[in-house]
Amino acid sequence: MHIEKKFFDNILNTVMNVSGKRKDNEKARMDINLYYRRKDLELKLHSNGKVFKPKANYTLAGDQIKHVCQWLKDLGMSDEYSSNLARCVDVSRGRVVGMKSHDCHVFMECLLPIALSSLPTYVINPISDINHFFKDLCSRTLKEDDLIRMEQTISFILCKLERIFSPSFFDSMEHL
C-alpha cells in the first residue's frame, strides 16, 4: 500500500500541478533538453529573454483543478468504505493534502480515472491501466496465472507512462 500511495501522490500532484510536490519542475525540463527528444516539454525562450515552461499535456488547467477539488469535496462515501475525503481538499488553493494510505488506495483504484477524465485519452488510458494493476494486485485472491500476466503487463504500462510523463516522474518507487 505504501508504493501505491507514493504512486498516487506522484500522479495527482503532477497532474494537478501542485507547486513543490510535482515531479515536473524546471530542472527536469532542462534535462529533457539535454537527454530526450520531447519538444512539447522543453523549456522555451521568450522574446524578452526569459525562459518559460510550457503547459504539459498531462496537467490540468486551473479551472479543471478547481472542478476536481470541488467534485471531491462534494463526493459522499459511506463511513465503512473510506474516511471523509472532503477534509483533505482545499478548493481555493486547488490541492489535496493529508490523505491516509487507505484513502489513497480508494482514490487510486476507484476515483482517479473519473477525477482526471478531462485529460486526453492517451494520458488517461495508461493511468487507468495502472489503476487496474493495483486493483488486481490488492484483490482478495490472487492466482498464479494472474500474477504472471500482471508481471508481463506492468512493464508495458510503465512504458506507456514514460511516453507521457517527464523522466523525473519515475523514481525507484515507480519501478518497484
What tens digit of pLDDT does each residue of 9-44 get?
888 888 887 777 776 767 777 777 676 777 777 777
Cβ neighbors of 59 (< 8 A, separation 6 or more) are: 14, 15, 16, 17, 24
Q: How many structural domains comprise the chain?
A: 1
User: What pLDDT score was predicted for residue 125?
Assistant: 92
How are beta strands 51-52 and 89-90 bridged, if at all?
unpaired
Whole-model pTM: value is 0.79
Distance CA 52, CA 149 (A): 43
Radius of gyration of the chain (CA): 17
What is the structure's pLDDT at 57? 81
Identify the DSSP state of 89.
E
Domain membership of residue 19 as a residue range: 2-175
Task: Please state, as a whole number, how many other Cβ atoms lie within 10 Å of the Cβ of residue 85.
Answer: 18
Q: What span, in angstroms and rounded, lies between the C-alpha atoms of 6 and 56?
A: 21
Which residue numbers in the chain have pLDDT < 70?
A: 1, 23, 25, 33, 35, 78-82, 171-176
What pLDDT is recorded for position 82? Answer: 66
Place of cell 487496474: 132
Q: How far apart are CA 66 and CA 52, in angstroms?
A: 23
Q: What pLDDT does 94 receive?
A: 80
